[in-house]
């Protein structure tokens, strides 16, 4: 029953009775795969017929452009489900690259197995909720990029993390380069602005831990 705990922690079985967990898990016949940092899970244009759950590590969704620019769309953490929208779409074609942000273990769940499961309706209800949450995160990204000026983007991003966590200290979980790509700004400019905000006692930070002062 390897990865049963991962499936439960992801929330995929939230609409099931606990007595049905084992039956549902057996029907899904999940596959786990260990992957290295920067390994590609899906590339743009790949056909995707499985949803993915992160058992260990983190994954970034990114978009590369012909001019060489690279934008981080989203970072997924342990327990997160990703590639849902692509797997359930008509064309099932990945619109972005999904890449291991660090050494990872990814659990793949075939959409065919979900469809054939006695618990497919309950599982799809959960997937719909996850897609709704993903859409909210995308709206947050739009909200951030709509801000004029680098400082305002930084503050908006940290404020969103603060609202989600409910704590004074938030974890960014991205390198400075990746954060710059997420905010669509220059890395050097980002580092300079962060240090300036620290000197002005607006924020304090240590590596990926940030807090408002």
Tokens linked to 136: 């909210």
Q: What does the pLDDT look like over 98-136, one tens digit per residue?
A: 999 999 999 999 999 999 999 999 999 999 999 999 999
Flag whether pLDDT at 213 surpasses 90: no
Backbone phi, then psi, for 190, in 5-degree steps?
-65, -50
Residue 92: CB atoms within 10 A of its CB come to: 15
Q: What does the pLDDT look like over 36-73, one tens digit per residue?
A: 999 999 999 999 999 999 999 999 999 999 888 899 99
What CA–CA distance (Å, rounded) separates 4 from 107? Answer: 10
Tokens linked to 181: 């790509």
Residue 144: CB atoms within 10 A of its CB come to: 20
Q: Do residues 10 and 109 lie in contact, with contact meaning Cβ atoms separated by under 8 Å? A: no
What CA–CA distance (Å, rounded) separates 109 from 101? Answer: 20
> How much is the pTM?
0.89
pLDDT at 1: 80
Flag whether pLDDT at 168 surpasses 90: no
Domains and CATH numbers, the chain: 4-134 (2.60.120.10), 147-212 (1.10.10.10)
């Amino acid at each position: 029953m390897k990865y049963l705990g991962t499936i439960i922690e992801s929330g995929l079985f939230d609409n099931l009775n606990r007595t049905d967990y084992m039956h549902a898990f057996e029907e899904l016949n999940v596959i786990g795969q260990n992957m290295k940092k920067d390994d590609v899970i899906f590339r743009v244009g790949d056909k995707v017929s499985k949803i993915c759950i992160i058992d260990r590590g983190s994954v970034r969704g990114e978009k590369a452009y012909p001019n060489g620019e690279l934008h981080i769309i989203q970072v997924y953490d342990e327990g997160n489900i990703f590639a849902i929208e692509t797997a359930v779409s008509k064309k099932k074609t990945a619109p972005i690259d999904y890449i291991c942000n660090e050494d990872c273990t990814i659990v793949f769940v075939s959409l065919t197995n979900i469809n054939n499961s006695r618990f497919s309706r309950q599982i799809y209800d959960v997937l719909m909720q996850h897609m709704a949450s993903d859409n909210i995160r995308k709206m947050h990204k739009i909200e951030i990029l709509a801000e004029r000026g680098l400082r305002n983007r930084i503050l908006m991003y940290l404020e969103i993390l603060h609202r989600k966590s409910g704590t004074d200290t938030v974890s960014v979980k991205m390198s400075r380069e990746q954060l710059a790509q997420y905010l669509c700004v220059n890395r050097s400019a980002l580092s300079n602005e962060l240090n300036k905000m620290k000197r002005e006692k607006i924020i304090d930070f240590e590596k990926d831990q940030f807090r408002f002062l």
